């Protein structure tokens, strides 16, 4: 087998092993279930309220939006965070010291992030179906839309996550990305429609992937009638494809350059220096 | 070739040599306006174990990282396994092993999973002569981690973790192995096991090994040749014995006679003692003959380099010896 082929296969196996490892420790399980629990509780209490201008449950509208938000978070922030942490702890340097190890590492991360996104969607969706009504879970068309939005969402967000993770050197600076993202969630109509917002705020929200992932997921799981309360009164699939596609292209162009630059600079003494700094943080 | 080289002495043009695993000529490194390496020269043949010694900040880590291909040099002609490390490809990378000082990477992984996974990357680079990767069970036995194969990496003790680092470094059966301070944090038993492993790698597998250490005793046990890097240059290059003898040629003889202490330095210690006993016989007590050690040589060389002088090596060797 070609070395590249072997590295890709090893990378996929790496992702599978890392996924399995996430089920074996408290921290990772907490990361799976805690945000899910919070969202489910919120949706539970929102189930009686209605989307303005309709009789549809606001809780049921929030579920697909939250799934979209989860994809964006997993793709960008979690990947960025893992890159920063694993650069600090030397995982990346090990990959660099291994033939085609960087390729294997990245394939592994993509595998892991995609699998974690699937698992997270599943553990949100299944319990929510017990108390939320009106979702189109029996329609094959719904699942088809959900699938392409999810895949495109990952392709749009993972490379950007890699770029962010490569540019941040100190784990403490992750907050610089975390806070604006939280603000963006508020803008992006995840928990409440944004039709009432000023036009410029709506414009800002529509630049970023979170809004479109929420919209795409709603278009998959909500009845068609609900499109009327979206902006322009439509699910805007073409626009969703367009904006997420642009982010994907931008990310796929930038990520290899930034990742290569970051990887080139890794060495034992850099990892040692970071370790020293981290130790001082702990004390 | 002399055992102890002065910088610039071996300036003869050098012919490419296929047997050289490491071939470093006039390696220079500059960070901003600070020169860290001023022209480092050395070579290593297949199966040779080299110890790179030197005070902190002498440029050992920089040198090793340049050879590993992790850092670009400023100038000089460097060949590692016949390839310029600045342009090494993945095939080149597959022929070498780097033992990194791990910290908490791969903490959730099982020891066996990690070694099997990293080994997978080397499989396409197996040759008729070298089967790659090293089978996991054999490797676990070799580094003494067989009983811990199913444990998670973060559960290992410090010494076990370093053994895992070594295992990761050799999983691809490297022809060239870099060890940066390999036995820091080892207890004496682990250290001895590690030394045996290094001997085995060098003898039976013909692995060329370049290691850095601050432990002169370890360097003496492991290395065929010792390089001392100080002030950005190789100030000495030779076997441990040669170094000790060249730098501090005299042995030191101490004795007491009639309650009085005597110290004498002599090149022919045996002859001196024979004469001493013939003259004074039973009156000589507490006789002690001490050969110059590698440590004496090291201290003398580094001291000289740092003080900028190069005279009276032996005298200073004994001075430092007396202070202890």
pLDDT at A241: 96
pLDDT at B314: 41
| B 56-95 residues with CB < 8 A to A | 61-62, 64-65, 68, 70-71, 90-91, 93-94
pLDDT, average across residues A132-149: 92
Asked if residue B8 is part of any domain, the answer here is: no
Asked if residue B2 is part of any domain, the answer here is: no
pLDDT, average across residues A219-246: 92
Asked if residue B196 and residue B273 are part of one domain, the reply reads no
Q: What pLDDT, in 10s, does the model give residues A251-277?
A: 999 998 898 888 888 888 888 888 888
Instruction: Mutation target for A interface from B57, B65, B70: give the one with most A CBs within 10 A.
Output: B70
Contact partners, residue B296, CB within 8 Å, separation at least 6: B244, B247, B248, B317, B320, B321
Asked if residue B66 and residue B209 are part of one domain, the reply reads yes
All structural domains of chain A with their residue ranges: 3-282
Token pair belonging to A144: 């088809």
**What does pLDDT average to over chain A?**
91
CA pseudo-torsion sign B105, B108, B109, B111: positive
CA distance B235 to B230: 6
Asked if residue B252 and residue B229 are part of one domain, the reply reads no
Q: What pLDDT, in 10s, does the model give residues A95-112?
A: 999 999 999 999 999 999
Q: Domain of B72: which CATH number?
A: 3.40.50.300
CA distance B45 to B49: 9
Report which secondary-structure segment, H or E, holds B286: strand B284-290
CA distance A9 to A2: 11
pLDDT at B321: 39
Asked if residue B224 and residue B256 are part of one domain, the reply reads no
Residue that is last in its domain, among B221, B241, B261:
B241
Asked if residue B13 is part of any domain, the answer here is: no
Share of chain A above pLDDT 70, in %: 99
Is the Cβ–Cβ distance between A178 and A77 less than 8 Å?
yes
Residue that is last in its domain, among B188, B212, B241:
B241
pLDDT at A99: 94
Tokens 């012919």 sit at which residue?
Answer: B15
Total residue count of chain B as it appears in this document: 324
* Cβ-nearest to A268 among B108, B120, B180: B180
Asked if residue B302 and residue B214 are part of one domain, the reply reads no
How near does any CA of chain A get to the CA of B111, in Å? 12
Q: Is A106 exposed, middle or buried (0-12, 13-18, 19+ CB in 10 A)?
A: buried
The phi, psi pair for B82, rounded to 5°, reads 80, 5
Asked if residue B200 and residue B63 are part of one domain, the reply reads yes
Asked if residue B271 and residue B214 are part of one domain, the reply reads no
- Would you give per-residue pLDDT tens digits along chain B (324 residues)? 444 444 444 444 455 566 799 999 999 999 888 889 999 999 999 999 999 998 888 889 899 999 999 999 999 999 999 999 999 999 999 999 999 876 679 999 999 999 999 999 999 999 988 899 999 999 999 888 999 999 999 999 888 888 899 999 999 999 999 998 888 777 788 788 889 888 888 887 889 999 998 888 889 889 999 999 988 889 889 888 888 777 656 788 899 998 889 888 887 888 889 999 998 888 888 898 887 777 877 887 888 777 764 444 444 444 443 433
Domain membership of residue B108 as a residue range: 20-241
Asked if residue B200 and residue B160 are part of one domain, the reply reads yes
pLDDT, average across residues A109-135: 92
Asked if residue B71 and residue B150 are part of one domain, the reply reads yes
Cβ pair A6:B105 closer than 8 A: no
pLDDT at B308: 66
Asked if residue B231 and residue B265 are part of one domain, the reply reads no
Give Cα A180 to chain centroid, integer Å: 15
Q: Which of A144, A145, A152, A140 is nearest to A114 (CA)?
A: A152
**A75–B contact, CB cutoff 8 A:** no
Asked if residue B280 and residue B141 are part of one domain, the reply reads no
**A27–B contact, CB cutoff 8 A:** no
Is the Cβ–Cβ distance between B53 and B244 less than 8 Å?
no
CA distance B100 to B118: 14
Asked if residue B196 and residue B125 are part of one domain, the reply reads yes
Q: Report how many domains make up chain B.
A: 2
CA distance B215 to B184: 9
pLDDT at B249: 63
């Amino acid at each position: 087998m070609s070395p590249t082929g072997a590295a890709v296969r090893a990378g996929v196996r790496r992702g599978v092993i890392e996924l399995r490892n996430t089920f074996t420790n408290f921290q990772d399980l907490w990361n799976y279930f805690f945000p899910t629990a919070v969202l489910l509780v919120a949706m539970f209490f929102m189930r009686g309220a209605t989307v303005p201008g309709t009789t549809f449950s606001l809780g049921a509208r929030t579920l697909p939006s939250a799934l979209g938000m989860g994809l964006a978070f997993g793709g960008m922030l979690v990947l960025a965070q893992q890159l920063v942490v694993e650069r600090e702890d030397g995982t990346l340097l090990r990959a660099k010291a291994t033939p085609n190890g960087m390729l294997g590492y990245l394939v592994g991360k993509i595998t892991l992030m995609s699998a974690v996104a699937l698992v997270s969607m599943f553990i949100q969706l299944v319990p929510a179906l017990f108390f939320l009504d009106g979702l189109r879970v029996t329609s094959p068309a719904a699942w088809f839309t959900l699938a392409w939005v999810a895949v495109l969402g990952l392709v749009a967000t993972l490379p950007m996550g890699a770029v962010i993770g490569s540019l941040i050197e100190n784990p403490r600076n992750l907050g610089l990305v975390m806070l604006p993202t939280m603000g963006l969630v508020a803008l992006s109509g995840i928990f409440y429609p944004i039709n009432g917002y000023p036009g410029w705020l709506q414009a800002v929200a529509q630049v970023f992937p979170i809004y479109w992932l929420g919209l795409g997921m709603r278009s998959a799981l909500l009845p068609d009638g609900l499109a009327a309360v979206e902006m322009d009164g439509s699910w805007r699939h073409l626009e969703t494809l367009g904006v997420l596609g642009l982010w994907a292209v931008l990310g796929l162009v930038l990520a290899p350059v930034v990742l290569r630059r970051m990887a080139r600079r890794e060495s034992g003494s850099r990892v040692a220096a970071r370790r020293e700094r981290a130790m001082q943080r702990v004390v | 070739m002399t055992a102890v080289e002065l910088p610039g002495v071996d300036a003869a043009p050098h012919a490419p040599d296929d047997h050289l695993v490491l071939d470093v000529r006039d390696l220079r490194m500059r960070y901003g306006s600070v020169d860290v390496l001023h022209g480092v020269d050395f070579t290593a043949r297949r199966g040779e174990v080299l110890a790179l010694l030197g005070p902190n900040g002498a440029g050992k880590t920089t040198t090793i990282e340049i050879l590993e291909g992790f850092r670009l040099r400023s100038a000089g002609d460097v060949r590692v396994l016949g390839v310029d490390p600045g342009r090494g490809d993945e095939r080149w990378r597959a022929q070498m092993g780097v033992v990194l000082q791990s910290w908490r990477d791969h903490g959730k992984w099982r020891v066996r999973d990690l070694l099997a996974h990293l080994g997978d990357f080397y499989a396409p680079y197996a040759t008729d002569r070298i089967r790659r990767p090293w089978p996991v069970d054999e490797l676990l036995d070799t580094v003494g981690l067989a009983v811990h194969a199913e444990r998670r990496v973060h559960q290992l003790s410090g010494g076990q973790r370093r053994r895992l680092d070594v295992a990761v470094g050799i999983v691809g059966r490297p022809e060239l192995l870099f060890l940066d301070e390999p036995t820091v944090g080892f207890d004496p038993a682990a250290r001895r096991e590690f030394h045996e492993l290094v001997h085995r790698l060098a003898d039976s597998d013909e692995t060329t090994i370049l290691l850095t250490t601050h432990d002169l005793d370890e360097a003496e046990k492991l290395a065929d040749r010792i390089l001392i890097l100080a002030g950005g240059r190789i100030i000495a290059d030779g076997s441990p014995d040669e170094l000790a003898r060249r730098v501090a040629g005299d042995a030191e003889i101490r004795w007491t006679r009639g309650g009085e202490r005597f110290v004498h330095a002599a090149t022919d210690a045996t002859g001196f003692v024979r004469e001493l006993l013939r003259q004074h016989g039973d009156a000589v007590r507490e006789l002690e003959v001490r050969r110059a050690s590698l440590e004496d040589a090291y201290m003398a060389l580094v001291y000289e380099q740092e003080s900028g002088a190069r005279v009276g090596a032996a005298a200073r060797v004994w001075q430092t010896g007396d202070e202890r």
